[in-house]
A and B are shown apart, each in its own frame.
Chain A
């Protein structure tokens, strides 16, 4: 078994484009849940409309990538408004129910036969990143050290994705260290109290929902660019649950919790897969075959979440004092 290979492959995933995309979506979820206390169980829905902003914009209408990105942001904003307007005046559970249902309904809608002229139906859209690749300033070749290597195109996507992560972090950090962030955190604690002090709670919750949703939408758009093609069935509900696992692992309501969580979880997931795979190759696990790895991976995430909640409910870098405070 090649330990170094397992570790370098896992490291590659942990800093790669997919990890960066999940970080961006998790920052959005952190805005919703970590700071505002909004239960969004449909972050994948925002990623879907964001990805199809590029998919439909470039693939169907032949727009430039910039215009398509604007379309992604607009779609995510509209989705946030549609979700928020009817539910944000009600109890928190209504948003939770709506988001999980709407995200799944959107997937079915985008893959439906009648939507095929627009979205490509179950086949999705292909060749979406020609403009992006053409703009790549990095000379082709492979870059990296000691097995952690990326192609020029991967590196270009990573550069853009992590730069966007940096912008998103800076934005949320600045907001959460302002009076606006104070109101947002107050709403998480008790929205009636905040209302009694003269703040329009609905507007703040709406702003938070739009901001976090747009970050999810941009993450989806990056996914479309990175893969160069998209299909609706990659936006299954488990993407949302992975994001939740990542956010809770890193530590909700912490600026870097949403960065650390996805990186660590991607590292662990890849290490888990690779270890099983190399054990299979040397015949150490005769009762398993390659198809079982995916199922075991789900079990592994579940176990990790249970252990996390029992032993470290605040996450890796969460504030234990804040977590244990007498909330009533």
Chain B
């Protein structure tokens, strides 16, 4: 399917969905309710209700410390919730470890790229393939049991590496790749798991502008193939350009969600990003100025 067609289809699916926090979606792949996590006295995440529509690119935005990465960690089983429940494809994920969540088809990447540096690029890819007989201790000792499977996975890995233009690097150690190439490798590697949803934690962080375009292309391509993408990002141009839906997090809560055009004009979002406006009587700006004068 072409990119425009899939974007149009995604927009179609979201037609008529009200841009209000916690709004139900027509066909949600991920549903979370009452998810809470605090560190000491600080409530990092307190999401009342959130649904992610299947087959769309959903962006998760918010100022620093809004709890985006924590929410990611909670949903993917890399951190434990204090309360709440969430389900993926209708199956409850509460209490499942990170590897179990991944096996359900929800695969994440990390803000600080986690390339397996002293493995080759190809081994990074092959490692991610699911259900390998040779990954069992005793299965490993009998190569005829896994050689054929390995060959099939190698084909898949090479196809993906070609798509991400990393095929020439297949025998290099992943640690020798540039920051942007590591991001590409991490994305390609997550596809080896054969996910139905990918969660990208700041896929553009530290990537040079030339590569950003190519990464964006890859992300839209995921949707074009029918995958659901949830990603955390800071760059507003990037977010407005490719997202079908945007969820805004501030102080751990969903304060707004909607289409890019809804979010652009949402006052709460502007407030969250820029702080309460100074001309507002009784706003934070006023108080701060008062404090300054006293000093």
Choose from B102, B116, B175 the contact partner of A326 (Cβ within 8 Å).
B175
In the bound complex, do residue B119 and residue A189 qualify as a contact, i.e. CB atoms below 8 Å apart?
Answer: yes
Q: List 19 A-B contacts (CB under 8 A).
A: A174-B140, A175-B140, A175-B141, A178-B146, A179-B150, A183-B127, A186-B116, A186-B124, A186-B127, A193-B110, A193-B115, A193-B116, A194-B127, A197-B190, A198-B99, A200-B99, A321-B173, A326-B175, A327-B117
Choose from B130, B136, B150, B176 the contact partner of A198 (Cβ within 8 Å).
B130
Which residues on A are within 8 Å of B, measured CB to CB?
171, 174-175, 178-183, 185-186, 188-190, 192-201, 207, 321-322, 325-328
What separation, in Å, do the CA atoms of A283 and B193 have in the docked complex? 71
For A194, the chain B residues whose CB sits under 8 A away are 116, 127
1/0 per residue B104-119: CB within 8 Å of A?
0001111000111111
Q: Can you name the residue of chain A whose Cβ is closest to the Cβ of B192?
A: A197
In the bound complex, do residue B137 and residue A186 qualify as a contact, i.e. CB atoms below 8 Å apart?
Answer: no
B97 at the interface (CB under 8 A from A): yes
Q: Indicate the size class of the contact surface on chain B.
A: 35 or more
Given contacts A189-B116, A197-B102, A199-B135, contact A182 B173 (CB under 8 A): no
In the bound complex, do residue B99 and residue A207 qualify as a contact, i.e. CB atoms below 8 Å apart?
Answer: no
User: How many CB-defined contacts (below 8 Å) exist between A and B?
Assistant: 116
For A328, the chain B residues whose CB sits under 8 A away are 117
Which residues on B are within 8 Å of A, measured CB to CB?
76, 78, 97-100, 102-103, 107-110, 114-119, 123-124, 126-128, 130, 132-137, 139-141, 143, 146, 150, 173, 175-176, 189-190, 192-193
Question: In whole Å, how far is B85's beta carbon from the nearest beta carbon of chain A?
Answer: 21
What separation, in Å, do the CA atoms of A326 and B179 have in the docked complex? 11
For B173, the chain A residues whose CB sits under 8 A away are 321-322, 325
Choose from A181, A197, A200 the contact partner of B107 (Cβ within 8 Å).
A197
For B102, the chain A residues whose CB sits under 8 A away are 195-198
In the bound complex, do residue B136 and residue A180 qualify as a contact, i.e. CB atoms below 8 Å apart?
Answer: yes
Question: In whole Å, how far is A54's beta carbon from the nearest beta carbon of chain B?
Answer: 26
A178, A192, A195, A328 — which one has the most chain B CB atoms within 10 A of its CB? Answer: A178
What separation, in Å, do the CA atoms of A325 and B124 have in the docked complex? 15
For A199, the chain B residues whose CB sits under 8 A away are 99, 127, 135
B99, B110, B123, B139 — which one has the most chain A CB atoms within 10 A of its CB? Answer: B99
4 closest Cβ contacts across the A-B interface?
A179-B134, A325-B175, A180-B140, A178-B140
For B123, the chain A residues whose CB sits under 8 A away are 182, 185-186
For A174, the chain B residues whose CB sits under 8 A away are 140-141, 143
B116, B119, B130, B190 — which one has the most chain A CB atoms within 10 A of its CB? Answer: B116
For B78, the chain A residues whose CB sits under 8 A away are 192, 195-196
Given contacts A179-B135, A325-B176, contact A192 B99 (CB under 8 A): no
In the bound complex, do residue B116 and residue A179 qualify as a contact, i.e. CB atoms below 8 Å apart?
Answer: no
Q: Can you name the residue of chain B whose Cβ is closest to the Cβ of A327?
A: B117
For B135, the chain A residues whose CB sits under 8 A away are 179-180, 182-183, 199
In the bound complex, do residue A327 and residue B118 qualify as a contact, i.e. CB atoms below 8 Å apart?
Answer: yes
- Please report whether the interface of chain A is mostly helix, strand, loop or mixed according to DSSP: helix
What separation, in Å, do the CA atoms of A186 and B132 have in the docked complex? 15
In the bound complex, do residue B140 and residue A198 qualify as a contact, i.e. CB atoms below 8 Å apart?
Answer: no
Given contacts A174-B140, A327-B175, contact A192 B110 (CB under 8 A): yes
Choose from A180, A181, A198 the contact partner of B139 (Cβ within 8 Å).
A180
What separation, in Å, do the CA atoms of A327 and B192 have in the docked complex? 23
Choose from A186, A189, A195 the contact partner of B98 (Cβ within 8 Å).
A195
For B133, the chain A residues whose CB sits under 8 A away are 179
In the bound complex, do residue B99 and residue A325 qualify as a contact, i.e. CB atoms below 8 Å apart?
Answer: no
For B97, the chain A residues whose CB sits under 8 A away are 195, 200
For B127, the chain A residues whose CB sits under 8 A away are 179, 182-183, 186, 194, 197, 199
For A326, the chain B residues whose CB sits under 8 A away are 117, 175-176
B76, B127, B141, B192 — which one has the most chain A CB atoms within 10 A of its CB? Answer: B127
Question: In whole Å, how far is A252's beta carbon from the nearest beta carbon of chain B?
Answer: 11
Q: Can you name the residue of chain B whose Cβ is closest to the Cβ of A183?
A: B135
Given contacts A194-B127, A195-B98, A325-B176, contact A178 B193 (CB under 8 A): no
Choose from A179, A190, A201 the contact partner of B114 (Cβ within 8 Å).
A190
In the bound complex, do residue B116 and residue A190 qualify as a contact, i.e. CB atoms below 8 Å apart?
Answer: yes
Question: In whole Å, how far is B207's beta carbon from the nearest beta carbon of chain A?
Answer: 16
Q: Can you name the residue of chain A whose Cβ is closest to the Cβ of B109?
A: A196
Given contacts A197-B128, A326-B175, contact A178 B141 (CB under 8 A): yes
What separation, in Å, do the CA atoms of A59 and B143 have in the docked complex? 41
What separation, in Å, do the CA atoms of A199 and B135 have in the docked complex? 9
Given contacts A192-B110, A197-B189, contact A185 B119 (CB under 8 A): yes
Q: Can you name the residue of chain A whose Cβ is closest to the Cβ of B129?
A: A179
For B126, the chain A residues whose CB sits under 8 A away are 179, 182
In the bound complex, do residue B137 and residue A192 qualify as a contact, i.e. CB atoms below 8 Å apart?
Answer: no
For B109, the chain A residues whose CB sits under 8 A away are 196
In the bound complex, do residue A207 and residue B118 qualify as a contact, i.e. CB atoms below 8 Å apart?
Answer: no
Question: In whole Å, how far is B225's beta carbon from the nearest beta carbon of chain A?
Answer: 19
Choose from A198, A200, A322 the contact partner of B193 (Cβ within 8 Å).
A198
For A171, the chain B residues whose CB sits under 8 A away are 141
For A179, the chain B residues whose CB sits under 8 A away are 126-127, 132-135, 140, 146, 150
What separation, in Å, do the CA atoms of A46 and B124 have in the docked complex? 33
What separation, in Å, do the CA atoms of A50 and B193 have in the docked complex? 41
Known: A180-B140, A185-B123, A325-B175. 18 other contacts (CB 8 A): A174-B143, A175-B140, A178-B134, A178-B143, A179-B127, A180-B137, A189-B116, A190-B116, A193-B110, A196-B109, A197-B102, A197-B107, A198-B99, A198-B100, A198-B193, A325-B173, A326-B117, A326-B175
Question: In whole Å, how far is A182's beta carbon from the nearest beta carbon of chain B?
Answer: 5
Q: Can you name the residue of chain A whose Cβ is closest to the Cβ of B139?
A: A180
In the bound complex, do residue A197 and residue B193 qualify as a contact, i.e. CB atoms below 8 Å apart?
Answer: yes
